[in-house]
Amino acid sequence: MSFMEKLRGQLIDIIEFLDESRDTIVWRFPRQGNEIKNQAKLVVREGQSAVFVSEGRLADVFGPGTYTLETKNLPILSTIQGWKYGFSSPFKAEVYFVATRQFTDLTWGTQNPVILRDPELGAVRLRAFGTYALQVVDPSALLRQLVGTDPQFRTDEIGDYFRRLVVGQLGPALAEAGVAAIDLAANQREIATRLAGQLSEDLSEYGIAVPRFVLENVSFPPEVEAALDKRTQMAVVGNLDQYTKFQAANAIETAAANPGGAGDGLGLGAGMGLGAAMGQQLAQSLGTTAAHPTPAPAPPAGPPPLPAAESPWYWAVGGAQSGPGTTADLAGRVRSGEVTRESLVWQQGMAAWTAAGEVPALAPLFAATPPPLPPTGAPAGAPTGPAAG
C-alpha cells in the first residue's frame, strides 16, 4: 500500500457502504490497521446494519441512521477495550456492513427428480423449480455462523447450500400436502407457503429468513406426460364407437378425393365396406377389452331391405296422355306397336316429356322389337315405305 493510501486512511472519518453489486450480503469496511478515529461518522442506510468486531469478538450493532462514534454509543466496544473514561485517540475495530433488505429473484431447482408415492398414479418422479427471497434478520448470527472473516460475502456463496436444503424439504412438503400429483398445480401456493416457513426455521440459526418462496412448476417425466396426454385424449373422444365411425368416414372421404385411389365406383364401394368393417371390428375389440373377457356374439343378420316401389310411367298416344302403368305395362304396348321409340313418355323425376327411345331405363324394351309388318299383299322381302312406289 502506498504512502498516500495510508495517509488517506488516517484522514477518512466517514464510514459507510454504497452497494452497487446488488448481490453482496456482507461487506467489511477497509481501513489501514483497522484504525477508526474518535468522533468519526458512521452512516448506516435503510436495508443495512453495521456490526463492530474488536479483537475477534462481536461488539456493537447499529441500525439505519447517522452516528458519531464515541464511548456512549459504543458501550460493548468500550468494555472490551477497557476504557473507563472515554477515548480521544484512534481505536481499532473491524466494521462489517450487513444488508438486511430482501434479495429477490434467486432461483432453485431439483437437479434430480423427487420420488413421490401418489394415491392415483402410484410411485412417480417429479421435478420442480422456482424462485425465492432471502433476508438477514440477525446480523450477529450470520457473522458467527457463515461469514467469519470473509471481507465480501455474496448470495452465490449460500446458493448451493440453500438448493440442497430445498430439495431435502420438497419431498416431505409434497407428501404432507395430501393431494394427487395431477392436482399439485392447484395447491402450489399453499405448498410454497409451507416450504417458506420450514426453510426459515431451518435457517434461523444462521440469522436468515425466507420471506417469499415461489413454486413455479412441478413436472412429470416425459413418458408420464405422454401417457397423461393419451388419457386426456380418450376422455375427450368419449364414445369410441362413434369415434371409430367418424375416423372411417374421414378415411373414405380422403380416398374418394384422391384420383389415384378409390376414385371409381368399385374402389369407393370397397373402401366403404372396408372402412365400416374396420370401424366395427375396432369398436367391438375396444368394448370387449374394457367390459368383457371374451367377445360378445354378433346379432343375427336379418333379411335385406325390400326394393323401393317403382314410380309409374305415363305415355302419349295420338296426342292424348295414357297411363299410369308399370314398366311391364309399357313393354306390352311397345310389343303391340302402340308405343314406339318416338312416343313421348314421362316418369317422376324427369324434367320433361321425352321420346321413349332416348330414355336409358327403357332402352331394353326396344332392343328386340321387330320391325313393322309389310302392307297386305306385298311380296315377302319387298321394301316398305315411300321408296316402295
The 3-class secondary structure across 192-248, one letter per residue, is HHHHHHHHHHHHHHHCEEEEEEEEEEEECCHHHHHHHHHHHHHHHHCCHHHHHHHHH
Residue 328 — very low, low, confident or very high, per pLDDT cuts 50/70/90? confident
CA distance 292 to 270: 31
Do residue 113 and residue 171 come from a single domain? Answer: yes
User: Mean pLDDT score of the chain, rounded to an integer?
Assistant: 77
In a domain, 62, yes or no: yes
Q: What integer is the mean pLDDT of 127-139?
A: 91
Percent pLDDT > 90 in the chain is: 16
pLDDT beyond 80 at 93: yes
User: Which residues, 6 or more positions from 283, have their beta carbon under 8 angstroms from its beta carbon?
Assistant: 240, 241, 244, 245
What is the pLDDT, as a whole number, of residue 232? 72
Residue 47 DSSP SS3: coil
- Do both 95 and 109 map to the same domain? no
Does residue 193 share a domain with residue 107? yes
The answer on pLDDT for 384 being more than 80 is no
- CATH number, domain at 203? 3.30.479.30
The model's confidence at residue 65, banded by pLDDT at 50, 70 and 90, is very high
User: How far apart (Å, rounded) are the C-alpha atoms in residues 151 and 82?
Assistant: 27
pLDDT at site 376 = 67
Span of 93-107, 132-146, 242-256 with lowest mean pLDDT: 242-256
Of residues 372 and 184, more confidence is placed in: 184
Residues 92 and 39 occupy one common structural domain? yes
Q: Region 124-135: what's the mean pLDDT?
A: 88
What's the pLDDT at 265?
A: 47
Is residue 239 in a domain?
no
pLDDT of 144 > 50? The answer is yes
Total domains in the chain come to 2
- Of 64-73, 88-97, 122-131, the poorest mean pLDDT is in 88-97
- Report the C-alpha gap between 271 and 201 in whole angstroms: 71
Burial 277-303 (b: 16+ CB within 10 A, else e): eebeebbbeeeeeeeeeeeeeeeeeee
- Evaluate if residue 7 carries a pLDDT over 50: no
In a domain, 61, yes or no: yes
75 and 114 inside one domain: no
- Asked, for residue 333, whether it belongs to a domain, the answer is no
CA distance 294 to 285: 10
Instruction: Indicate if the pLDDT at residue 174 is higher than 70.
Output: yes
Which amino acid makes up residue 39?
Answer: Q
Going by pLDDT thresholds of 50, 70 and 90, the confidence category of residue 121 is confident
Nearest to 339 by CA among 360, 314, 311, 361: 314
> Among 55, 52, 12, which Cα is nearest to 31's?
12
pLDDT tens figures, 206-245: 999 999 999 888 888 788 778 777 777 777 666 666 767 7
Give 351-356 contacts, CB < 8 A, sequence gap 24+.
Answer: 353/316, 356/315, 356/330
Lowest mean pLDDT among 47-56, 85-94, 98-107: 85-94
Does 123 lie in the same domain as 112? yes
pLDDT at 171: 79
What is the rounded average pLDDT of the residues 318-341? 87
Nearest-CA neighbor of 195 among 206, 184, 183? 184
Does some domain include residue 161? yes
Lowest-pLDDT range of 168-172, 192-196, 241-245, 359-363:
241-245
Question: In this model, does residue 254 exceed pLDDT 60?
Answer: yes
Please check whether residues 95 and 125 belong to one and the same domain: no
How far is it, in rounded angstroms, from Cα 367 to Cα 388? 26
Of 373 and 59, the one with more pLDDT: 59
| Sole residue written with cell 397423461 | 228
Q: Which of 99, 127, 153 is the last residue of a domain?
A: 99
Q: Which of 195, 220, 245 is the last residue of a domain?
A: 220
* Residues 115 and 93 placed together within one structural domain of the fold: no
State the DSSP code for 151.
S
The answer to the question of residue 229 being in a domain is no
Q: SS3 of 339, please?
A: coil
Residue 184 structural domain: 102-220
DSSP 8-state assignment for residue 145: I
Is the same domain home to 206 and 129?
A: yes
Residue 16: predicted pLDDT: 93
Q: Same domain, yes or no, for 66 and 116?
A: no
Sequence-ordered list of residues with C-beta below 8 angstroms from that of 57, at least 6 positions apart, any chain: 80
Confirm whether 47 is domain-assigned: yes
Q: What is the pLDDT of residue 257?
A: 72
Q: What mean pLDDT is predicted for residues 94-118? A: 86
In this predicted structure, the answer to whether residue 30 has a pLDDT above a threshold of 90 is no
Residues 190 and 165 in one domain: yes
Q: Is 90 exceeded by the pLDDT of residue 36?
A: no
pLDDT of residue 97: 94
Has residue 152 got a pLDDT over 80?
yes
Strand 313-317 and strand 114-118: the pairing is unpaired
CA 171, 173, 174, 175 dihedral sign is positive
Nearest CA among 55, 41, 53, 44 for reference residue 12 = 41
- Backbone φ/ψ region at 167: left (φ over 0), alpha (ψ -120 to 50), beta: alpha
- Which strands sit side by side in the sheet containing 65-68, from one edge to the other? 14-15, 41-44, 65-68
> In this predicted structure, what is the pLDDT of residue 8?
46
Domain boundary among 220, 240, 269: 220
pLDDT at 375 exceeding the cut of 80: no
Residue at 366 is within a domain? no
Query: Looking at residue 67, what is its pLDDT?
Result: 92
Q: Please, are residues 270 and 262 in contact by the beta-carbon 8 Å criterion? A: yes
Band (149; pLDDT cuts 50, 70, 90): confident
Q: Which residues contact 58 (CB under 8 A, 6 or more apart)?
A: 51, 52, 140, 143, 144
Q: Are residues 57 and 109 in the same domain?
A: no
